[in-house]
């Protein structure tokens, strides 16, 4: 096994950090230069809003447009956020120097203090701090992970792959019933892929479903990697899936509930989200496949009415919104799927397949769909 090393101290990390460090220094120098030249200090922050989100049909991902806002020091409405941006930039520089990472909550506390000579706090709450960090990501063109900031982690993995995490060799074939917990930061300097026989990734929504697949050793029988993201997968999970897809060429099959929430999760995995459109280039997986649950399964699998969960008004509204997403709008398969959901009038969960048999989903449903190449994409 490789020697354990302190996370963040590898040569690859140092190289990556040098790039991020330079970006921060360049931004700071720009501000300083203007100030010393008698001009008002400003930073340009690309606009993170639906209005500045573009659907790149060719790439199949959501992207951020060109709109940007200037953040000025001598503007009463912007002075605070200008200073917050500088404050967090400085903290990130500290983190890089210290070779440490910090949580979003931690960043809030690190930046929090009373502005000298006033009773004003630097941040009103963590939301304000998180927003500034997203601004920083966009304006520096650096992932949050590259800024040494992590979030709450969620999600686990098992399967036919060996990873290196911070120098430790993780054999995902031998992770028992628990699995390896996917960290929040999975950039190449932290996580490397060592040996992979797997031919695809099966990503499921819930960790209870994951446990069913793991117990039935689906990944061993079908030579794959099995992941879950605790519902809507956090960035760490999405980034890992993206890297497995991009670097190892593995197809990503998503097994999600037949409801607007399942469709939304798929959409985010595939095309990215509006709020993180600036990260789609590194998070979205345009060729991710939706293997089920499908609206047609009620009849196709001969399910009983026990599996039906009535659609409520909000579900119907959400389903129509999702059908109108530009990337679903022109897609016949998805239009039919959402129409099927609406005409069924009910949702179905992956776990409802247990009404057929405990292992129906692992032994029949997914293998049949894979064999028949029956999925939406």
Cβ neighbours of residue 263 under 8 Å, at least 6 residues apart?
Answer: 256, 290, 319, 322, 337, 338
From candidates 128, 134, 165, 363, binder to its own copies by CB under 8 A:
165
Residue 319's closest CA among 336, 303, 301, 299? 336
Is position 365 annotated as part of the catalytic site?
no
185 near its own copies (CB under 8 A): yes
From candidates 110, 238, 239, 369, binder to its own copies by CB under 8 A:
110
Contact assessment for residue 102 and residue 109, using Cβ atoms and an 8 Å cutoff:
no
β-pairing, 102-103 vs 161-165, is unpaired
Q: What is the dihedral of CA 245, 21, 93, 4, to 10 degrees?
A: 50
225 near its own copies (CB under 8 A): no
Residue 192's closest CA among 251, 250, 247, 253? 247
Nearer to its own copies by Cβ, of 75 and 308: the residue is 308
Residue 151, classified by CB atoms within 10 Å of its CB into exposed (0-12), middle (13-18) or buried (19+), is middle
Cβ neighbours of residue 257 under 8 Å, at least 6 residues apart?
Answer: 205, 293, 347, 348, 349, 350
Residue 37, classified by CB atoms within 10 Å of its CB into exposed (0-12), middle (13-18) or buried (19+), is exposed
- Contacts with its own copies by CB under 8 A: the residue count is 68
Instruction: Write each residue from 78 to 107 as x if it is in contact with its own copies (CB under 8 A), else as -, in one continuous string.
Output: -----------------x--x-xxxxxxx-
150 near its own copies (CB under 8 A): yes
Instruction: Write each residue from 340 to 359 as x if it is in contact with its own copies (CB under 8 A), else as -, in one continuous string.
Output: ---------x-xx-xx--xx
Shortest distance, position 49 Cβ to its own copies, whole Å: 28
Shortest distance, position 43 Cβ to its own copies, whole Å: 25
57 near its own copies (CB under 8 A): no
Nearer to its own copies by Cβ, of 1 and 76: the residue is 1
| C-alpha–C-alpha distance, residues 226 and 179, integer Å | 10
Residue 127's closest CA among 135, 119, 116? 135
From candidates 41, 46, 159, 183, binder to its own copies by CB under 8 A:
183
Radius of gyration of the CA atoms of the chain, in A: 23
Site for its own copies in 268-297 (CB under 8 A): none
211 near its own copies (CB under 8 A): yes
Nearer to its own copies by Cβ, of 101 and 280: the residue is 101
- The catalytic residue positions are 109
Which residues in this chain contact its own copies in the complex, by CB under 8 A?
1, 4, 6-8, 95, 98, 100-106, 109-110, 112-114, 121, 150-153, 156, 163-170, 173-185, 190-191, 206-209, 211-212, 215-217, 304-307, 349, 351-352, 354-355, 358-359
């Amino acid at each position: 096994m490789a020697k354990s090393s302190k996370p963040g101290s590898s040569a690859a990390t140092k190289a990556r950090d040098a790039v991020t460090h330079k970006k921060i220094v360049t931004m700071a120098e720009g501000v300083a230069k203007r100030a010393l030249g008698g001009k008002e200090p400003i930073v340009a922050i690309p606009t993170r809003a639906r209005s500045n989100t573009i659907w790149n049909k060719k790439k199949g991902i959501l992207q951020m447009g060109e709109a940007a806002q200037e953040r000025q020091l001598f503007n009463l409405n912007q002075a605070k956020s200008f200073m917050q941006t500088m404050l967090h930039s400085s903290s990130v520089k500290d983190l890089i120097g210290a070779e440490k990472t910090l949580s979003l909550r931690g960043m809030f506390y690190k930046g929090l203090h009373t502005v000298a000579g006033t009773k004003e706090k630097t941040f009103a709450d963590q939301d304000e701090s998180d927003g500034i960090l997203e601004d920083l990501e966009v304006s520096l063109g650096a992932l949050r992970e590259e800024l040494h900031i992590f979030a709450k982690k969620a999600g686990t993995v098992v399967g036919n792959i060996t990873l290196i995490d911070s120098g430790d060799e993780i054999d995902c074939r031998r992770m028992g019933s628990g699995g390896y917990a996917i960290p929040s930061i999975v950039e190449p300097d932290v996580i490397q892929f060592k040996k992979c026989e797997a031919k695809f990734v099966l990503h499921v929504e819930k960790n209870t479903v994951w446990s069913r697949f793991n117990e039935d050793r689906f990944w061993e029988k079908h030579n794959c990697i099995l992941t879950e993201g605790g519902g809507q997968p956090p960035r760490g999970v999405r980034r890992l899936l993206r890297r497995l897809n991009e670097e190892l060429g593995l197809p990503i099959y998503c097994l999600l509930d037949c409801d607007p929430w399942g469709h939304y999760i798929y959409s985010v995995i595939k095309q990215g989200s509006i709020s993180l459109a600036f990260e789609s280039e590194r998070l979205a997986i345009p060729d991710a496949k939706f293997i089920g649950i499908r609206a047609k399964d009620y009849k196709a699998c001969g399910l009983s009415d026990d599996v039906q969960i009535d659609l409520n008004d909000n579900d119907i509204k959400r389903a129509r919104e999702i059908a109108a997403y530009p990337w679903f709008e022109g897609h016949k398969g998805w239009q039919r799927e959402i129409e099927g959901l609406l005409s069924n009038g009910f949702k179905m969960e992956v776990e409802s397949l247990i009404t057929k048999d405990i292992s129906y989903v692992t032994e029949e449903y997914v293998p049949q769909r894979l064999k028949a190449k029956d999925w939406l994409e």
